Amino acid sequence: MYKILTMKALNPTVMQMEIESPLVARKAQPGQFIILRVDEDGERIPLTVAGTDAQRGAVKIIFQIVGATTYKLSLKNEGEYIQDFVGPLGRPTELEGLKKVAIVGGGVGCAIALPIAEKLHEMGCEVHSYVGFRNKDLVILEDEFSAASDKLIMMTDDGSYGRKGVVTLPLQEALEAGEAYDEIITIGPLIMMKFVVATTRPFGVKTTVSMNPIMIDGTGMCGGCRLTVGGKTKFACVDGPDFDGFEVDFDEAMSRGASYRDFEKHAYDEACNLFKKEVE
């Protein structure tokens, strides 16, 4: 059993927890993920490590309430326990030798991008962060990104906070102005990453994408995170989650991901109804 040390809501649908897991806290690196179960009858879900505190033995996770398991997890309280917490898994993001990097994050994907930005900043790299959300109410981790970035540009789709528009707008402006990035690392919804890659391709800047959003089982056995990279079949959880964005077939990945939406909604609705009945 693993103790929940801290818990707070970052916005109406996104939660942050710190889980007591000393071994994971000592080993986890940016880009890696864990697998957890809320209880002994629960499903296994992968969540990216959003930060660690080795001294306290704490591992930070940030998750969006989108299905039955994340809903059950959100109902837990500080001091309570979850059944399993295993990791770190996946390949760490490769950061050695980078001197100037653009981090492009969208929505809850910013939780994955933040530890990468923090590690780069710690290494003395110049970090430019472009982060976007649908509106002001969904903004998360602004202070943390500000502390880890030499330049931070906040975007919202409706203009209710920061600049109005999508993250590719200021990124393209920067590239056209001559910003010479060693690498661009982007994490967020698949459609966002697809257009980030389309923006950077003409400039020939190495662009790494994180395919965490399509992971399900986390071990390569379910096949749900299967994708085509450079014409070859890869699995996000065991071969990634980071890949060369220029080689990823995003259309295929988005099509496969959409096939699970009805199932996820059904499971979420069932879980909500079950807990409502228990409360009543």
Q: What is the pLDDT of residues 31-63, one digit of tens each?
A: 888 999 999 888 888 888 999 999 999 999 999
The values of phi and psi at residue 174, to 5°, are -65, -45
Nearest-angstrom CA–CA distance, 220 and 236: 8
Domain residues for the domain of 9 are: 2-89
Higher pLDDT, 150 or 244: 150
**Burial tier of 217 (Cβ tally within 10 Å: 0-12, 13-18, 19+):** middle
pTM of the model: 0.83
> Is residue 274 in some structural domain?
no
Higher pLDDT, 110 or 252: 110
- Contact between residue 264 and residue 66 where contact means Cβ atoms under 8 Å apart: yes
Domain closes at, from 210, 229, 257: 210
pLDDT at 201: 95
> In this structure, are 151 and 200 located in the same domain?
yes
Domain closes at, from 56, 89, 122: 89
> Is residue 242 in some structural domain?
no
The predicted-structure confidence for 152-210, as pLDDT tens digits, reads as follows 999 999 999 999 999 999 999 999 999 999 999 999 988 999 999 999 999 999 999 98
> In this structure, are 130 and 76 located in the same domain?
no
CATH code of the domain in which 108 resides: 3.40.50.80
> In this structure, are 168 and 132 located in the same domain?
yes
Given a cut of 50, whether residue 279 has pLDDT beyond it is no
The predicted-structure confidence for 88-139, as pLDDT tens digits, reads as follows 988 888 899 999 999 999 998 898 899 999 999 999 999 999 999 999 999 9
> In this structure, are 114 and 72 located in the same domain?
no
